[in-house]
Chains A and B, each alone.
Chain A
Amino acid sequence: MAKTIMTVDDSASVRQMVSMTLKNAGYDVIEAGDGKQALGKLGGPVDMIVTDLNMPNMDGIELIRQVRANPKYKFIPIVMLTTESQAGRKQEGKAAGATGWIVKPFKPDQLLGVVQKVLR
């Protein structure tokens, strides 16, 4: 069965790029515009989350924290999108429970590389 990945980003274009890349690779994709929306759409089977950090309403760090608090998603891979190599944000994200990160800007291939690395 195809695995389901949730992409969370307030930028519609990034969301579209992530979503199209993953769909072309055979994944099912759920899109969410910010942390709040993402939590709202969670509930069914989600095998992985790709989330931006800077978002209105609820940012990525908080989202990761809340997802990890849910026993159902305690062990799923969560990858955060960061700009440049903001070491501070990366550490914050890791502390909140992120599995890894992708530095923006990235190419579709790089995204798939990371997904295949953490999701089996």
Chain B
Amino acid sequence: MSQEELNRQAFKEEAQDLLGELENALLELEESPGDADLIDRVFRAMHTIKGSGAMFGFDDIASFTHDVETVFDRVRNGEVAVGRELLDLTLAARDRIQDMLFETEGEDRDPERSKAILDGLRRYLGEAEAAPTPEAESPAESGDEESRFYRIRFKPPEDMFHTGGNPVHLLDDLGELGPCRILANLEEVPWLGECRAETCYAWWDVILCTTAPEREIHDVFMFVEDESELAVSPIAEPEELEGDQYKKLGEILVERGDISADGLKRALSEQKRLGEVLQESGLASAERVRSALAEQEAVQEIRGRRKESEAASSIRVAANKLDDLVNLVGELVTVQAQISQKVAAKKDPALTALAEELERLSDELRDSTLGIRMLPIGTTFSRFRRLVRDLSVELGKEIELETSGAETELDKTVLERMGDPLVHLIRNSIDHGIEPPEARREKGKPETGTINLSAAHSGGEVVVTIEDDGKGMDPKALKAKAVNRGVLSPEADLTDKECFNLIFEPGFSTAESVTSVSGRGVGMDVVKRAMDELRAVVEVDSVPGRGTAISIRLPLTLAIIDGLQVRVGGEHYVIPLALVEECVELQAQQVSGGANKRIIDLRGEIVPYVMVREWFEVPGNPPPIEQVVVTSTEWGRVGLVVDSVIGEHQTVIKSLGRVYRDVEGLSGATIRGDGSLALILDVPRLVRSAAQEAQR
């Protein structure tokens, strides 16, 4: 049993006794209605049931008992006389509590009856004593992370020690809220002879710098606030003096009310240090001047510290410096790979240890360098708000942009290069997707259309989705148009997905009329090309009348990836490690069976595979035992058959240039440890092309 249940159990047992006691007292009270002792017993029993009930979660009982208790409070104070009817009602109330407690686990399942009893009892209540309003949780003050300065003057009651309090504890508590400077004021401490040891003469000025709301400062003094002199005031920081000089001594003293503005003027007219003048003239005591000076010092000091930490928290660096850094790291990684390869051949333990250390360092250096370049995608999102607003006004549409996943991080270069394509896609949604308000109303949709822009991590990729609830696209209409425009031959047999992809064909436009926003048939193919350059995969999904969703799968970075190096004939390839699930051997019998039966049985799961040797037309014969690298793609697991697997390899991606753009299945190249070249496989595209080919 949990402690809570134990407590509830204890309460039930106790309540049983109390209800018995209540019954007895009520019955005795009938005999002698004026007996103050009996009334007290009744009241106390009610009070305990209510108080403890609320504490152990019997809220219905607590609120029910409240009114009964209030009536007996009035009886106790002589405002209401005990009569037959009151006793009947109270006994009924007692039975009601008993029922609630033991029949229904504390729940009030018969509110009608409770209400009848309470209505009867309410007649004995004074006018303003209705049911208690449950104490509303004070809403947490909005967490203002900005730290603020507070000036706190705390003068405890002289007899604070007599109530078991200790001002030092409270000052300690203040210290836990943030850096503070505490100054004791001892000007009221009498001469030793008159001093009483148990009296608190001292009081304190505290300068506190805290992010906590002012309420929390007051909470520290909760138990003594009524008896103490307590002043908490936020210190306004003069902005124009930022970092320079804090307020002058005279200002502080006037703000604190320690001297008057007049006094200050008088004192200033003498040409001496203000503090000395004030003390000599008796305008302010030495203690108070010292305390004000301490505030000056404390604020300046804490502010200095705060500035330092702010300065350390971020620096701005020119973007090209970062690019240079990444290039250098890339070269370092390549050299490191070369060293590792040489060392491995030498089999010298000392050298091996050094090479491994170098590898670890270059790995970490690579990760942190690439990490620096990661930016939240939200920075691009914000500019779309304006775009949506302006365009929808221009087109007379009502559109709301919703964004999510703004904190998803992407490489800076990827972000920069996808900005324009995203603008184009959103423009398209606004122009072609979302219908004008009247058309939407007719279709029974809300007049305001919604475009949802979201970003999320998914494996080694980031998926950005643009989704609208507009009119959607009809695959047949798209196909007809493509045929019409001469983009597609009339005989072509396309799936819906392929039809949607037609919008990316050069010279294809879905808009019936050309508007100022889009519809000239340029754009979508530009988007597609930009995405290809980013090695991104674009997918379109649409339901006529319901809306269109375009999702873009982006690689996290364009610079360096972890790759698995494999060999096919004399060629080396790299498969992005994030996509690799496992490597298995290809059994000879699985190879036979023709092009249409290229599947392996992976622990009962059927996994199709692609022969890399055939795909890239690598000359020569495969070895007797080939390897299958199982990758995870959007179509599920797909195997890539290679001659042998060499191992993990840090891959600095070099682009292949325009000549190779149309080679399906390659995304770039990298330099191997020995200086030769390895091609990086674009697994998703390779698999897709292979799948299309197999279907034909």
- A100, B222: Cβ atoms closer than 8 Å: yes
The one of B6, B41, B51, B161 that contacts A83, using a Cβ cutoff of 8 Å: B51
Asked if A70 is at the interface (CB within 8 A of a chain B CB), the reply is no
Asked if A99 and B223 sit within 8 Å, CB to CB, the answer is: yes
Question: Which chain A residues lie closer than 8 Å to B290 at the CB level?
Answer: none
Interchain CB contact under 8 A, B162 and A13 = no
Are B54 and A16 neighbours in the complex by a CB distance under 8 Å?
A: no
Chain B residues with CB under 8 Å of A55's CB are: 44
CB-CB under 8 A from A76, the residues of chain B are 164
Which A residues from 11 to 30 make CB contacts under 8 A with B? 11-14, 16-17, 20, 24
Given contacts A13-B52, A83-B50, A118-B169, contact A99 B14 (CB under 8 A): no
Q: Is the CB of B44 within 8 A of A56?
A: yes
Within 8 A of B (CB), among A55-107: 55-56, 68, 74-78, 83-84, 94, 97-101, 104-106
With A13-B10, A99-B163: A104-B51 Cβ-Cβ less than 8 Å: yes
**Do A75 and B44 touch across chains, with their CB atoms under 8 A apart?**
no
Q: Is B154 an interface residue (CB 8 A)?
A: no
Q: Which residues of A contact B55 (CB under 8 A)?
A: 13-14, 17, 104-106
- CB–CB B223/A97 < 8 A: no
Measured CB to CB, the closest approach of chain B to A93, in angstroms, equals 9
B44/A74 in contact, CB under 8 A: no
Taking a contact as CB atoms closer than 8 A, the residue among A16, A56, A74, A101 that contacts B10 in the complex is: A16
Let me know if A4 is at the binding interface, CB within 8 A. no
A94 touches B163 (CB 8 A): yes
Across-interface contacts of A97 in B (CB, < 8 A) = 162-164
Residue B553 at the A interface, CB < 8 A?
A: no
Q: A104-B51, A105-B55, A106-B55 are in contact. Are A13 and B164 (CB under 8 A)?
A: no
Q: Is the CB of A118 within 8 A of B165?
A: yes
A99: contacting residue among B11, B47, B132, B165, CB under 8 A: B165
Interface membership of chain B positions 162-173, coded 1 if the CB is closer than 8 angstroms to chain A and 0 otherwise: 111110010001
Q: Which of A13, A74, A83 has the most CB of B within 10 A?
A: A13
B227 within 8 A of A: yes
Q: What is the minimal beta-carbon distance from A58 to any residue of chain B, in angstroms?
A: 13
B residues 145-176 near A (Cβ < 8 Å) are: 161-166, 169, 173
| Of the residues B161, B173, B227, contact of A94 by C-beta under 8 Å | B227
Q: Which residue of A lies closest to B50 (CB)?
A: A83
> Which range holds the interface residue count of chain B?
20 to 34
Q: Which residues of B contact A74 (CB under 8 A)?
A: 162
Between B55, B164, B223, the greatest number of chain A beta carbons within 10 A of the residue's beta carbon is seen for B164
CB pair A117–B162 under 8 Å, yes or no, is no
From A90, which residue of chain B is reached at the shortest CB distance? B226
Residues of chain B with a CB closer than 8 A to A100's CB: 222-223
Tell whether, in the assembled complex, residue A13 and residue B44 are in contact, meaning their CB atoms are under 8 Å apart: no
What residues on B are CB-neighbors of A13 within 8 Å?
7, 10-11, 13-14, 52, 55-56
For window 1-38 of B, CB contacts with A under 8 Å fall at: 3, 6-7, 10-11, 13-14
Q: How far is the CA of A34 from the CA of B169 in the complex (A)?
A: 30
Kindly list chain B residues whose C-beta atoms are within 8 Å of the C-beta of A16: 6-7, 10
Chain A, residue nearest B47 (CB): A54
Chain B residues contacting A84 (CB-CB under 8 Å) are: 132
Interface presence of B448 (CB below 8 A): no
Does any Cβ of A come within 8 Å of B380's Cβ? no
- Across the two chains, which residue of chain A brings its CB closest to B220? A117
Q: Report the bound CA distance from A12 to B3 in whole Å.
A: 15
Interchain CB contact (< 8 A) of A104 among B3, B6, B54, B163 = B54
Q: How far is the CA of A118 from the CA of B167 in the complex (A)?
A: 10
Residues of chain A contacted by B14 (CB below 8 angstroms): 11-13
Interface residues in B29-67 (C-beta closer than 8 Å to A): 41, 44, 47-48, 50-52, 54-56, 62
In this complex, what residue of A is CB-closest to B40?
A: A56
What CA separation (Å) do A106 and B227 show in the bound complex? 25
Residues from 349 to 385 in B contacting A, C-beta threshold 8 Å: none
Given contacts A97-B164, A100-B223, are A11 and B173 in contact (CB under 8 A)?
Answer: no
**B154 smallest CB distance to A (angstroms):** 15
Nearest CB to that of B166 among chain A residues?
A120
Q: Mark B223-239, 1 if CB is under 8 A from A, else 0.
A: 10011000000000000
Cβ-defined contact, B165 with A11, below 8 A: no
Also in contact, A98 and B163, with CB within 8 A (given A14-B55, A84-B132)? yes
A117 touches B169 (CB 8 A): yes
Q: Is the CB of B3 within 8 A of A20?
A: yes
B196-234 to A contact mask, C-beta < 8 Å, 1/0: 000000000000000000000000001100110000000
Residues of B within 8 A of A20 (CB): 3, 6-7
Interface, chain B (partner A; CB < 8 A): 3, 6-7, 10-11, 13-14, 41, 44, 47-48, 50-52, 54-56, 62, 132, 161-166, 169, 173, 222-223, 226-227
Known pairs A14-B51, A75-B164; list 13 more (Cβ under 8 Å): A10-B48, A12-B10, A12-B14, A16-B6, A17-B7, A20-B7, A56-B44, A75-B162, A77-B165, A83-B50, A97-B162, A97-B164, A105-B62
List 21 contacting pairs A-B, 8 Å CB cutoff, sorted by A: A11-B14, A12-B14, A13-B13, A16-B6, A16-B10, A17-B10, A24-B3, A48-B164, A55-B44, A56-B44, A75-B162, A77-B164, A78-B164, A84-B132, A94-B227, A97-B162, A98-B163, A98-B164, A101-B223, A105-B54, A120-B166
* Chain A residues engaging chain B, CB cutoff 8 angstroms: 10-14, 16-17, 20, 24, 48, 54-56, 68, 74-78, 83-84, 94, 97-101, 104-106, 117-118, 120
* A-B complex: 4 closest residue pairs judged by Cβ atoms: A100-B223, A99-B164, A105-B55, A13-B11
